[in-house]
Structure 1
Amino acid sequence: MTNIKKGIMWRVVFGMSAVVLFAIVVSFKMFTIQIVEGEKWLAMSDSTTIRRQNITPARGNIYSDDGSLLSTSMPIYEIRWDATVVNKDTFRVYVSDLAIELSRLFPEHTASYYSSLLKTARRDKNRYKLIRRKVDYHQQKAMAEMSIFKKGRYKGGFLPQLNTKRVKPAGELAHRTIGWYHNEQNQGVGLERSYDQDLGGVKGERLVQRISGGNRPLNDENLIEPQNGRDVHTTINIDFQEIAQRSLEKALIKHNAHHGSVVVMEVATGKIKAIANLKRTESGVYRELYNYAIGESYEPGSVWKVYSAMAAFEDGLINPEDSMDIMNGERDYFGKPMRDSDRGRFKKMSFKQAFARSSNVAFSSIIFDNYAQNPSKYISHLRKLDLDKTTGIEILGDAEPFLNHPESSTWSQLTLPWLAIGYENQHTALQLLTAYNGIINNGDMIKPRLVNEVTDAGLVVKDNNERVESKKVCSKETSAKIKELTAEVFLSGSASGVRSNVVSMGGKTGTAQIATKGQYQKSRIYNASFVGHFPADEPVYSVFVMVNQPSNGQFYASSVAAPVFAEVAEKIFTISVKQKVDDTSTRFPNYTSGYYSDFKVLNSALNVELTQEVNNEVIAMNAKTGKAKGLNIEDNKMPNVRGLGAKDAIYLLERYGLQAKMTGNGRVVEQSPAAGSRVTKNQHVYIRLN
């Protein structure tokens, strides 16, 4: 029995000793790790959980020519919360208030939902709890003033993480030209990609610690401060852009076209003021999906005759009034007929008429008959216009042109006469407009551009206005002759149907059949183009219009593209071009009736003196003679509003309790009931303006 007790005792002593020894070893190891090797293990822990994180700088803005925003970055926040730093009593007292405030700002969730969210994060000691994604600047500011959160990061646990979202305040206007850029994939288009080095700025760095739920910034200080991006100031005029885009869209819808583009260029500077590109989607809606004006080459057709005419004038082959034999509109070239659209009607006509009526025979004849033995001489004129080169525009995607030439394997005996009228070559709308712009700009061709300058904090760091590239492409005399020809297109030629009473215009239509797999199919699909300028004699702006595959029964450029040009030209001219004023004679406004107080203001500005004073509120007046008479208005009688503008007429009628229905614009030319007729209060009356 004693031996058994001793055995048990030794086992107990041995076991206890082993436990004590193990505890001593563990304690020693803990002491070694925490005290002796503490820095080593902390450093190793930091190396696995703490890292450098890039800070994306604020991306620069893109502006229109008047400083309107075309593309900017909107702050978008992700709100996180460190539930461990909030005082226990503070959390207990104010958690309900915070939940209510969150539910008011974001009503899709109830206060009880937010209360549960906050309490769970507190219980789990969550240091990086997601509260809300996609919070805008104003919402973030409101959250920063809420209960608990307003104590800040270290006492309230409020952790707003700033991100940015790229937005275009002008919507779809110039959408593709402005473009987009994704830095992670190194993908993008338009100015956003081409100017990313300027817009993107320089990234900064900060230390973050990897914890459950994400990366938590260690402190408020950055290792390297980010440098914000620079701003890009474009040549785009937002009003011109809207005019171009809306006019193009209207035409595409009307003609059920596949796609189209409009480019507006300032003649003297080469600045692109508008560039619209629209394509029909599967749903039938037109959107900016591709920059056709820059990226699509096509056979231009008869707009090319401008460049053929330039070559002929430069070499002294003909003058605008010289007569030509056009062979009744049909000529054979090596067994292949060349025909005019109105063949059989004319045997002879002047070169100016041939241009205006777009005679294929006339232009193929003058080029073939004079350059057949030396076609390179004709090609040299086209190369002088850089029609064998890209434009060098600032954005990517400028398509390579194809200008056939004698050394090419595709050159044949048929090439020269067909090249003369815009076939067997391919060019973009911008390439063709740049060449045209150079001819009408007194022969000075200027490289097109989309950007005026780049600024950094308001200081100009790149000034494209100081680096304008230009070269001489033809003489002033040739330029004057081309302007004479293009003006005739609107006077008696293919664009006479859209001749304007607002502004004189010049230009050239072009209807080109589209080849498919190298063949011109029997289905006959077309590109309708127009290149032109305004005003006709002293060009300020040039415009190129292209409509691809119009399919509602009309395909000639005179009916499809020319109306777009005319509408764009009239609207831009009305709002922008300074018109010459004849100061040699006194001119008076053509006003007849209105409020006496308004006339006093106008008369003072125009130095018009009335020959008599009138006591009536509404008067009729002749500005040239200065005579005026009062218009008497009786109660319950229809007033005479003929001659009044819409605003005055409506005001006067409503003042007497009448409900006006109006049609037209301008001044009142008809009214019903007639002036002096008996009327009752709230009676509907009708006026027509013109």
Structure 2
Amino acid sequence: VNELAVELSRMYPEHTASYFRTLLKKARKDNNRYKLIRRRVTYHEQRAVRELPIFNKGRYKGGLLAELSTKRVKPAGDLAFRTIGYSTKDNPGVGLERAYDSDLGGVKGQRLVQRISGGYRPLNDENLIEPQNGRDVHTTINIDFQEIAQRSLEKALIQHNAKNGCVVVMEVATGNIKAISNLKRRTDGTYGELYNYAVGLSYEPGSVWKVYSAMAAFEDGLIEPGDSMDIYNGERDYFGKPMRDSDKGRYKKMSFTQAFARSSNVAFSSIIFDNYASKPGKYIAHLRNLNLDKRTGLEIQGEPEPFLNHPQSSTWSQLTLPWLAIGYENQHTPLQLLTAYNGVINDGILVSPNVVRKVTDAGIVVLDKESDRESKRVCSKETSDKIKKLTAAVFTEGSARNVQSSVVTMGGKTGTAQIATKGHYQASKKYNASFVGHFPADKPVYSIYVMVNEPSNGVFYASYVAAPVFSEVAEKIFTISVKQEVDQSENKVPAYVAGYYTDFKELNKTLGVTLTEEVNTDLVRIDATGTRAVGISSEPGKMPNLKGLGAKDAVYVAELNGLRVKITGYGRVLEQSPKPGEKISKNQLIYIRLN
């Protein structure tokens, strides 16, 4: 008992060895069958206690009983909260946790307990049914990208007093979703992840739709980027209803590139109406080929069926075609629109969006989502190249020239759409501001969709509401990732700090560089040459080097070493205490600062 009391005082220094000695001896003297030693201990503390004198003799001779309780911990706070989701006993939940509940849940255990005043206590330390750990779901989310997207979106929503909004970042080549931020204004004026707008909100997007109209026109050989167009001084009548440009009366003619860059409604309604009025099904076929008539199939619950008007529908009228050409008379989610856009600028290859990389069971892959990726051709590479030139002109001479970047070339399209009230637009003073784009402009690596719903501080044009969010997110992501340019002459990339080995292999594949050696650890640090991955590990009893890791990865490594963690800040580990290599003990509390 004396030795046990000493060890307990070392683990819990707020009490002396004398305190624990008295506690244990008095319990025995009073013939107490049970004596509570400590509440709310961590899993690692409980494992350490089992190794102490007396308790290390096993469940029968040692007499230690541990009552299990669980607690949800979110190392990254509310980042991607609606996407990661939750599931409880009384609520099926939302997000990935709902979708993969059976995988994550494992098998529940059972044990005998005795009902006592205020609850239950275990009768012994044995389980009637041994619990089985659930599987691990590995997402495509990049926590650094996620933080960038959320902070930029929140800043814009506050600035424009908007109702809600979302940002989705997608990897062009793979369809992997790297960030998906959704924010809604609470009653107290703050914003939180309360609904997944990117997946669940259908709306009329407005002029971002012109990307798809331009694709159809190029595919059918109707026009070339440099061809001149009559835009009727910015106003054209369709069956008694006027179609107007925002700068009506300023231009009589302009090139198709200029019409796209300046977002001319008249130009796009004209080219679609004049060429497809007698055969609207041909235009609709191009849109259907972009999967704009079906769900993306993302596993997150709540994605609605899109509405794409068509000639066989009772809602089709003689006015549908010119207004559909500019993004009205349809209802789509931001994710559905981004997936189609991504296909157009990905050399014409559409890939299904994906938010889960794999599911593993005790480290063994049981579901590989990345090897089961659907793709199809939606347009020619020639058309894709033309679209990329049009979208680049939006920044150099068009509606997004106010956010043109000196850091990275960009392409994209603004969209400002009036929100219908009871089926009518004229009386409505509400707008949606959207932007869809990609970077770098000529060789896209990432595509982004931004939606800001109902800005109410007097500014509602996408050029000033949504486009700045896109530009800021793109610049920051480029700075921390894509800017790591390949030095083709030396065949190397600069060091990317630390993270998952599979992520580095994926990025290096995009950049055309292969790491020089395989490693057998999940987490790695890239060495100074930029071509060699070094596994992150540590000697038993010594502090691991966490610098460069994101919060989630740092906690993972620390807990593997039996440590408790206190985190401050956001981003990656900048400082840690104890320092790498210093002596540590089980259950020790360590401090890390992120930046």
TM-score range, shorter chain: 0.7 to 0.9
* Correspondence 1:173-188 to 2 at 5 A: 173-182=79-88, 184-188=89-93
Structure 1 counterpart of 2:74: 168
2:288 counterpart of 1:383: yes
Shift of 1:253: 1.3
Structure 2 counterpart of 1:515: 420
Shift of 1:245: 1.0
- The one-letter code matched in structure 1 to 2:352 is K
Question: For residues 428 and 529 of structure 1, what CA distance do their matches in structure 2 show?
Answer: 11
User: Contact 2:66–2:125 (CA<8 Å) still a contact in 1?
Assistant: no
2:105 counterpart of 1:200: yes
Question: For residues 46 and 23 of structure 2, what CA distance do their matches in structure 1 show?
Answer: 21
2:360 counterpart of 1:455: yes
Question: For residues 419 and 132 of structure 1, what CA distance do their matches in structure 2 show?
Answer: 67
- The one-letter code matched in structure 2 to 1:171 is G
- The alignment covers a number of residue pairs equal to 487
SS at match of 1:346: coil
**Aligned partner (choices 400, 423, 441) of residue 346 of structure 2:** 441
User: Contact 2:67–2:122 (CA<8 Å) still a contact in 1?
Assistant: no
2:406 counterpart of 1:477: no
SS at match of 2:225: coil
* Correspondence 1:356-505 to 2 at 5 A: 356-505=261-410
* Correspondence 1:91-490 to 2 at 5 A: 105=14, 127=33, 133-137=39-43, 140=46, 158-182=64-88, 184-210=89-115, 214-490=119-395
Greater Rg over alpha carbons, structure: 1
Question: For residues 121 and 159 of structure 2, what CA distance do their matches in structure 1 show?
Answer: 57
Please, what TM-score do these two structures have when normalized by structure 1? 0.65
User: Contact 1:101–1:146 (CA<8 Å) still a contact in 2?
Assistant: no
Question: For residues 308 and 133 of structure 1, what CA distance do their matches in structure 2 show?
Answer: 64
Distance change (3 Å), C-alpha of 1:579 and 1:117: closer
User: Contact 1:252–1:547 (CA<8 Å) still a contact in 2?
Assistant: yes
Question: For residues 182 and 99 of structure 2, what CA distance do their matches in structure 1 show?
Answer: 19
Q: 1:606-635 deviations in whole A, cap 9, x for unaligned?
A: xxxxxxxxxxxxxxxxxxxxxxxxxxxxxx
Structure 1 counterpart of 2:576: none
- In percent, how many aligned pairs have the same letter? 73
Distance change (3 Å), C-alpha of 1:523 and 1:376: closer
Distance change (3 Å), C-alpha of 1:106 and 1:561: farther
- The one-letter code matched in structure 2 to 1:135 is V
User: Contact 1:191–1:394 (CA<8 Å) still a contact in 2?
Assistant: yes
Unaligned 5+ segments in structure 1 are 1-89, 585-690
Distance change (3 Å), C-alpha of 1:256 and 1:211: closer
Distance change (3 Å), C-alpha of 1:118 and 1:264: farther
Please, what TM-score do these two structures have when normalized by structure 2? 0.75
Shift of 1:185: 2.0
Distance change (3 Å), C-alpha of 1:96 and 1:479: closer
Shift of 1:423: 0.7
Shift of 1:522: 3.1
User: Contact 1:302–1:511 (CA<8 Å) still a contact in 2?
Assistant: yes
Structure 2 counterpart of 1:530: 435
Higher helix share: 1
Question: For residues 472 and 221 of structure 2, what CA distance do their matches in structure 1 show?
Answer: 36
Shift of 1:489: 0.5
Shift of 1:524: 1.1
User: Contact 2:59–2:125 (CA<8 Å) still a contact in 1?
Assistant: no
Unaligned 5+ segments in structure 2 are 491-595
Q: 1:548-577 deviations in whole A, cap 9, x for unaligned?
A: 111122110001111111111111111111
Higher relative contact order (CA 8 A, sep 6+): 2
User: Contact 2:167–2:181 (CA<8 Å) still a contact in 1?
Assistant: yes
Distance change (3 Å), C-alpha of 1:155 and 1:247: same
Q: 1:227-276 deviations in whole A, cap 9, x for unaligned?
A: 21111111111111111111111111111111111111111110001111
